[in-house]
Amino acid sequence: MSSLTTPASTPAPASPQAAAATSSTRGTARQIRGFVGGAFLDGIRAFDKIDPVDGSLVGQVHEAGPHEVDLAVAAARTAADGPWGRMTTGERAAILRRVADVIDRRFDELVAAEVRDTGKPETLARDLDVARAAANFRAAADTVSTAGLDSFLTELPDGRRALNYAVRKPLGVVAVIVPWNLPLLLLTWKLAPALAAGNSVVVKPSEQTPSSATMLAEILAEAGVPDGVVNVVHGFGAGSTGELLTSHPGIDAVTFTGESSTGSAIMRAVAPRVRPVSFELGGKNAAVVFADADLDAAIAGLARSTYLNTGQVCLCTERIYVERSVFDDVAAGLTEQARRLRLGRPEDPATTTGPLISHEHREKVRAYLDLAVAEGATVLAGGGVPDLGDDLAGGSWIEPTLWTGLDQTHRTVREEVFGPVAALIPFDTEAEAVALANDTDYGLAAVTWTRDLSKGHRVAQRMRVGMSWVNTWYLRDLRSPFGGVGLSGIGREGGRHSLDFYTEPTNVCVQL
């Protein structure tokens, strides 16, 4: 297939987003097209995708307009009403396992696509993103093969008896909208259970990371997923493909991971049709370090939860509360960890930290770094743009940063930065630590570090979040509920929780 290789001329951009993203005509650039009804599809225009490592051109992405979105939704509806919708659970599970097998065979290609789009280290793309993509399909196949629903033998006072049992039915056509930070992982996290439940989907990946979604469409077709079951449309959000998709009358549900403000906009778009939504949104996640913690383990864990993927993970820690008696020790250890991180090209095995996704996002993070200093922060590590030489000067680089001296009243402690930054804040009592951690409009994840497991259980359960870790971070069982509260989202994903969203239960009552 030719989705990522065929040269094509580029129409002049018309939308403000495309005009901003397309700097010139790139007639020989790699073309990243949509995938609709089993075939690749040109868009209404194309825009440049830039490599965040060095600013070079990755390719041109075809933006879907109203006609292309209509075609995608129609193809998905035809597929949902056709053979895919009539397949047995076992048949769909077998196809999902074949998808995982093809991902394994094309593992290196997917790693290259993820690295090309995000700039993250190859080691991270291999160990996390692509490995989890295959695991997500296998987990969804296992879940749908074993999940059941309630059944009741009913006996009424008048002597009548009945069997009540529930069956799952797919929702129909689901819009799947995923962000740029973990593009393949989060796409497959949503796509696999949606397909397992018998839905068809229209996927809109981020305009920043289109490559792996397009490649996955090829993989699904190779594994035997019928035409039209999975469709991919590229473009932007408001005023572009995303808005067209979420407001489309043919969409039966929307699942979205991304910014809280975008989630609110999608809720408004689907409200007139009362469509179900599942949102995993932003976070301003807290970690609490008690004096009785294994400090070496805590410092290593904090370095990972703060700086993994350049801090561009919804679960990353941006607020670190440390018991006062060990505050200086933790500050010194974490500062050393931040300074040890190695920024560089993704193919270099020594690289630990890649760039931010774009210059635009770097400017947002830089503004928060400047604001923190203006608010009175003491910078312990980082705080600026690194000098990595001329060959990387065009990239979107930022230094891993750590600061002290701020409290709950400061914007940089309250607002999500989504970069490699964290604030260290002391506390004196357990009650104070819990209150500080919960003093946020978000509620996605939290971490508690302590050797006292009774305290660990107690504090973890008091955190107002969807996911609460003790003495670890990002350790996941794919069957467990995943999601947040407050501005961090609505609904849960994972195992049977995903099936609960992607299906509609129907009760059947048979009088005996």
For 509, phi then psi, to 5°, come to -115, 120
Please, are residues 3 and 214 in contact by the beta-carbon 8 Å criterion? yes
Short-list 163, 223, 146, CA closest to 191: 223
**Can you tell me the distance from the alpha carbon of 289 to that of 468, in angstroms, rounded to the nearest whole number?**
14
Residue 314 a catalytic site member: yes
Residue whose tokens read 């600026």: 384
SS3 437: helix
Pair of tokens at residue 440: 């946020």
**Can you tell me the distance from the alpha carbon of 34 to that of 210, in angstroms, rounded to the nearest whole number?**
9
**Can you tell me the distance from the alpha carbon of 488 to that of 509, in angstroms, rounded to the nearest whole number?**
38
For 161: left if phi > 0, alpha if psi spans -120 to 50, otherwise beta; the answer is beta
Q: Choose the catalytic residue: 63, 122, 218, 314.
A: 314
Q: Tell me which amino acid residue 375 is.
A: E
**Can you tell me the distance from the alpha carbon of 27 to that of 398, in angstroms, rounded to the nearest whole number?**
32
SS3 360: helix
Helices (H) and strands (E) in the chain, counts: 18, 21
Scored b (16 or more CB within 10 A) or e, 280-319 reads bbbbbbbbbbbeebebeebbebbbebbbbbbbbbbbbbbb
Bridge-based pairing of strands 151-155 and 161-170 is antiparallel
**Can you tell me the distance from the alpha carbon of 474 to that of 469, in angstroms, rounded to the nearest whole number?**
8
Residue 316 a catalytic site member: no
Pair of tokens at residue 258: 């991304």
Give how far Cα 384 sits from Cα of 222, 396, 410, 438, 444, Å.
46, 12, 20, 29, 28
Scored b (16 or more CB within 10 A) or e, 234-271 reads bbbbeebbbbbbbbbebbbbbbbbbbbebbebbbebbe
Q: Choose the catalytic residue: 122, 280, 399, 493.
A: 280
SS3 201: strand
Half-sphere exposure of 169 (CA within 13 A, CB side): 10
Residue whose tokens read 């473009």: 235
Cβ-based neighbours of 390, under 8 Å, separated by 6 or more: none
**Can you tell me the distance from the alpha carbon of 425 to that of 320, in angstroms, rounded to the nearest whole number?**
6
Cβ-based neighbours of 188, under 8 Å, separated by 6 or more: 132, 133, 136, 137, 216
Pair of tokens at residue 473: 């971070």
Task: Please list the active-site residues.
Answer: 280, 314
